[in-house]
Amino acid sequence: MRNCLLFIGIILFATVLSSGCTSQNYGTTTPVPTALVSPSSSMAPSGSPPETLLKDMAVLDQAYIPVLALTTQNDPVRSRKAMDTLLTEWSAFKGTYYTAMPQDPGWKPDLDTVNMTIYSANAKITEGNLSAAHTELEQFRLTMLDLRTRNKIDFFIDKMTQFHDPMEAIVLAAQDKAPDKVDVATIRQVYPDAVSKWDAVKTATIDATLFGFTPDQEQKTRILIANQTLALEKLGTALNSGNTTAIGTAAVAIKGPFSTLFSSFGKFPA
C-alpha cells in the first residue's frame, strides 16, 4: 500500500512539473522587428514600417519635388514658396523621427545630411542661384533612397529615383549633340539597366491613399507611366535600327515623360 501511494505521488509531482515547464516558454521570445521603430506608432506585426511614417515621408516628398523642379525653371518666386513649405515639413519630420531608429547607426547621419542639404539649398535660393540650389537638392532623394533601402522601407518614389540615373546617362549621351557625335555605345550599354529599373516602376503598386490621389490623378499617373514605357520602347527600336539620328532623338525623348511623372507627385505652390 505504501509503495502504491509513493508511486501515485511521483506521478502527480511529474505532472505538476511538466505543466509548470510548458505553460510559459521563457527560453523563446517573439523577435522585435528591427526594420523601423517609430516614436508615434508601433511596428506592424510583419515588421513593416508604420503607416504614419510612410504618410509623413509622402508628405515630405510632396514638398521636396516642387523645389527640385522649380529650381530648374528660372522661377525664383515659386522656388522660394516651395522651399518655405519644404522647410516647414522637414522641421516637422526631423523633430518626429530623428531618434526613431536607434538600431540603425546611419539613420541620424542620413537625416543630418538631408538637413544640411535643405538648408544649403535654401541659402542658394536666397542668393538667387537656383541652379546651385537644384544641384544641392539632388542629394536629398539619394540620401532618402539609401535610408529607406537600408531599412527595408518600400517606397514608390525611390523606384523612380533608381531609374533616374540610367535615364540621365542616356539623355546626356545624346543631348545637344549632332547625330555623328551621339554616344551610341554608352546608350547601348546603359539601356538594359534603364529598362530593368523602369520595369520596377511600372510594375510597382502605388498607394493612392498615401499620396492623396483622386481617381483622376490615379488615371493620370497610369497614363504617364504608359508614356514613359512607350518612350523607352521607341529608343529600343531606334537602337535596333542603328540610325544615329533616330537614336539621338529617342534618347533625349525619354526624359520628358519621366520629369512629368516625377513632378506629378509634388504639391506645387500657386
Q: How far is CA 137 from CA 30, 140, 141, 155, in A?
A: 41, 5, 8, 19
Buried b (16+ CB within 10 A) or exposed e, 236-257: eebbeeeebebbbbbbbbbbeb
Q: How far is CA 218 from CA 143, 158, 212, 229, 258, in A?
A: 27, 18, 10, 17, 16
99 shares a domain with 58? yes
pLDDT of res. 49: 72
CA–CA separation, 181 and 13 (whole Å) = 90
pLDDT of res. 92: 98
**Residue 95 located in a structural domain:** yes
CA–CA separation, 228 and 215 (whole Å) = 20
Of 135, 153, 171, the last residue of a domain is: 153
Torsion-angle region of 268 (φ positive above 0: left; ψ -120 to 50: alpha; else: beta)? beta
Q: Whose CA is closest to 138, among 65, 213, 88?
A: 65
**Residue 192 located in a structural domain:** yes
**Residue 5, all three cell numbers:** 501511494
pTM for the full model?
0.80
187 shares a domain with 101? no
260 shares a domain with 244? yes
Of 120, 153, 186, the last residue of a domain is: 153
Q: What tens-digit pLDDT sequence spans the chain (270 residues)?
A: 434 333 334 333 333 333 333 333 323 222 323 222 333 333 433 455 788 999 999 999 999 999 999 999 989 999 999 999 999 999 999 999 999 999 999 999 999 999 999 999 999 999 999 999 999 999 999 999 999 999 999 999 999 999 999 999 999 999 999 999 999 999 999 999 999 999 999 999 999 999 999 999 999 999 999 999 999 999 999 999 999 999 999 999 999 999 999 999 999 998
Of 153, 187, 202, the last residue of a domain is: 153
- What is the tally of structural domains in the chain? 2
Domain that holds residue 54: 50-153
